[in-house]
Amino acid sequence: MPDSRTVTAPRSISAESLARLRAHLGQLNTATLQRLDATLPWYRQLTPDERSALGLVAQRGLAGFVDWFEQHSLSTGHFLTEVFGQAPTELTRSINLQRALQLIRTVVDVVESSVPEIVQERDQAAVRESVLRYSREIAFALADVYARAAETRGAWDSRLEAVLLGAVLRGQDPDEIRHRATAIGWNSGTGVMVMAGAAPGTDKPAFVPGLRRAAARQRCDVLVGVQAERLVLVIGSVEEAGTTAAALTPWFGDGPVTVGPVVDSLHEAHVSARHAFAALAAAPAHPRAPRPTPTHEVLPERALMGDPTARQSLVHGVYEPLVDAGPALLETVDTYGALGHSLEATARALFIHTNTVRYRLRRVSELTGWDPLVPRDAYVLRTAITVGRLADSGSHDVGPDLIPDRHPWSDPAHTDL
Measure Cα distances from 295 to 49, 162, 272, 278 in Å: 53, 24, 9, 8
Q: Rounded to an integer, what distance in angstroms lies between the CA atom of residue 173 and that of residue 402?
A: 18
Q: Which DSSP symbol is given to 264? A: S
From the list 218, 224, 88, 202, the residue with the least C-alpha distance to 145 is 88
Q: Rounded to an integer, what distance in angstroms lies between the CA atom of residue 277 and that of residue 310?
A: 12
Q: Rounded to an integer, what distance in angstroms lies between the CA atom of residue 37 and that of residue 275?
A: 57
- Of the segments 10-14, 132-136, 383-387, which one has the largest average pLDDT value? 383-387
Provide the pLDDT confidence category of residue 7 given band limits of 50, 70 and 90.
very low
- Of the segments 44-53, 149-158, 319-328, which one has the largest average pLDDT value? 319-328
| Helix (H) or strand (E) run with residue 197 in it | strand 193-198
pLDDT for the residue 103: 76
Phi/psi of residue 40, each to 5°?
-115, 105
| Helix (H) or strand (E) run with residue 360 in it | helix 354-368
Q: Is the pLDDT of residue 75 over 80?
A: no
Q: Rounded to an integer, what distance in angstroms lies between the CA atom of residue 315 and that of residue 382?
A: 11
- Range scoring the smallest mean pLDDT among 178-182, 311-315, 379-383: 178-182
pLDDT digits (tens, 9 = 90+) for 253-290: 999 999 999 999 888 999 999 999 999 999 999 999 99
Domains belonging to the chain, first-starting first, are 6-153 (1.10.490), 188-297 (3.30.70.2730), 302-414 (1.10.10.2840)
pLDDT for the residue 113: 80
- Please answer whether residues 160 and 210 qualify as being in contact, where contact means their C-beta atoms are separated by less than 8 angstroms: no
- The torsion region of residue 43 among left (phi > 0), alpha (psi -120 to 50) and beta comes to alpha
Q: Rounded to an integer, what distance in angstroms lies between the CA atom of residue 238 and that of residue 57?
A: 44
Measure Cα distances from 44 to 84, 100, 148, 203, 405 in Å: 21, 14, 27, 44, 51
- Please answer whether residues 406 and 317 qualify as being in contact, where contact means their C-beta atoms are separated by less than 8 angstroms: yes
pLDDT for the residue 171: 86
Q: Rounded to an integer, what distance in angstroms lies between the CA atom of residue 283 and that of residue 305?
A: 11
- Range scoring the smallest mean pLDDT among 115-129, 132-146, 308-322: 132-146
Q: Which amino acid is at 369?
A: G
Q: Is the pLDDT of residue 154 over 60?
A: no
- The predicted model gives 84-91 an average pLDDT of 52
**Cα 287–chain centre separation:** 30
Q: Is the pLDDT of residue 413 over 50?
A: no
pLDDT digits (tens, 9 = 90+) for 194-220: 999 999 876 555 788 888 889 989 989
pLDDT for the residue 209: 84
Pairing of strands 73-75, 193-198: unpaired
Provide the pLDDT confidence category of residue 2 given band limits of 50, 70 and 90.
very low
Number of CB atoms found within 10 A of residue 382's CB: 17
Q: Which amino acid is at 1?
A: M
Pairing of strands 230-236, 193-198: antiparallel
Q: Rounded to an integer, what distance in angstroms lies between the CA atom of residue 321 and that of residue 33?
A: 74
pLDDT for the residue 240: 92
Number of CB atoms found within 10 A of residue 157's CB: 13
- The torsion region of residue 47 among left (phi > 0), alpha (psi -120 to 50) and beta comes to beta
From the list 137, 130, 2, 142, the residue with the least C-alpha distance to 72 is 130
Q: Is the pLDDT of residue 349 over 60?
A: yes
- The predicted model gives 347-361 an average pLDDT of 95
- pLDDT top residue among 87 and 179: 179
- Range scoring the smallest mean pLDDT among 11-25, 28-42, 292-306, 356-370: 11-25
Provide the pLDDT confidence category of residue 111 given band limits of 50, 70 and 90.
confident
In a 3-state reduction of DSSP, which class is residue 240?
Answer: coil
Start-to-end CA distance of the chain, whole Å, equals 53
Mean pLDDT of the chain: 80
Q: Is the pLDDT of residue 306 over 60?
A: yes
pLDDT digits (tens, 9 = 90+) for 371-391: 999 999 999 999 999 999 999
Q: Over the Cα atoms of the chain, what is R_g?
A: 34
pLDDT for the residue 158: 66
Q: Which DSSP symbol is given to 398? A: -
Burial of 45 (0-12, 13-18, 19+ CB in 10 A): exposed
